[in-house]
Amino acid sequence: MTAETFQDIAQNGAAVNLSARAKFRLTGNDRIRYLNGQVTNDVRRASAQSTLYACVTDAKGRIAGDVFIHATEDALLLDAEPGLRESLGLRLERYIVADDAELTDVSDEWQLWHVWGAHMPQGIQSTRFGREGVDVWVPVGTIFEPGCQVLTEEDLETWRILQKVPRWPNELNAETFPPEAGLETRAMDFFKGCYIGQEVLSRIKTTGKMPREMVAWEMQKEGFSAQIGDEIRGVPPSGNVVTIGVVTSVIVGPQHKKTCGLGYVKQGAKYELLLLPSGLAQRC
C-alpha cells in the first residue's frame, strides 16, 4: 500500500469484496435460541439493520471461529473466514439435536461486499475493519458497483493490521481466548445466558487473568524485517532479556516504511521495547 492509498482510504473510505467468505443460513423456530447457545454474543440483538459480531468457542473457551450475524424475517445469516467454511459448518451442525433449526451453506449463492466512508450505499450496518460501514449481500451473477475504490487483498490486510483488527487464523485460532484478542466488549455478552465455553470465559472476566494479550508493534528503524512466528522478547531497563510472545501479522507501514504488525505477549508484560530477531521494536 502506498502512502497516497492509505490517505485516500482514511479520508474517503473504500470497498472490499468479501464474497469468498463462508456464508450460512440458519432457519427454524428455534434458530435464535439455538445459536445463542453456541456464540459469545446475544443473538437476540441481531437485526436486519445491523450485524452482530461474535465468536464460536469450544468447551475450554477458545475460539473455533468468528462470525458476523444479521437477521431476516425468517432466518439468521452468518458469514465467516473462507477457511472456516467446512469446520465451522460441522461445528454448528453438531449440536443441532432436538432443535427446530437447520443450517444451510449458501456460500456459493451470494456475493458479500463491505463499504465504508463517503460513498456508502444502503446496506446492513457493520463495523469490520475499524470503521463503521455497511455490508451488501448480492445474489451471485448480479453486478454491484460500490462507487469507490475496491481494495486488493494486500491493501486490505495492511489496513486491517494498522487498525489493530484481529483475524482468523493469525490472531484468532484454537489457541486463543476472545478477551486475549481484545474482543470482550465487541464480541461478548456476559448477561445473555449459557453457551459452550461460557464458564471459562466468565472466570476470565471475573479474575481479569488470561495467558496473553494482543499488542501492536513497530520496528524502530526502516529496513528491519520480521516474520509471522518470530519470537518476541522483552527488553527491560536492566536485567535479562526474556521471551514474552510471538508475532502473528506483519506488514510494511505505508507512511513511515517501517515493518510493523500484531502479536501476542504475556499478560502484564509491560515492556515498551521489544526485541525481534532482526532488531528492536516498540509497542504502539
Domain boundaries, the chain: 3-162, 212-283
Q: What's residue 119's pLDDT?
A: 86
What pLDDT score does 239 carry? 75
pLDDT(276) > 80: yes
Phi, psi (rounded to 5 degrees) for 83 = -70, -10
Q: What would the pLDDT profile of 135-158 be if each residue is shown by its tens digit?
A: 999 999 999 999 899 999 999 999
| Helix H or strand E encompassing 80 | strand 76-80
pTM of the model: 0.95
CATH code assigned to 3-162 = 3.30.1360.120
| Amino acid letter for position 163 | Q
Q: Are 195 and 39 in contact (CB under 8 A)?
A: yes
pLDDT at 87 over 90: yes
What's the CATH code, domain 212-283? 2.40.30.110
- Alpha helices of 19-103 — where are they, by DSSP H? 31-36, 85-94
Contact (CB, 8 A) for 114 and 129: yes
DSSP-derived secondary structure for 164-193: T---TTTTSSTT--GGGGT-HHHH--SSS-
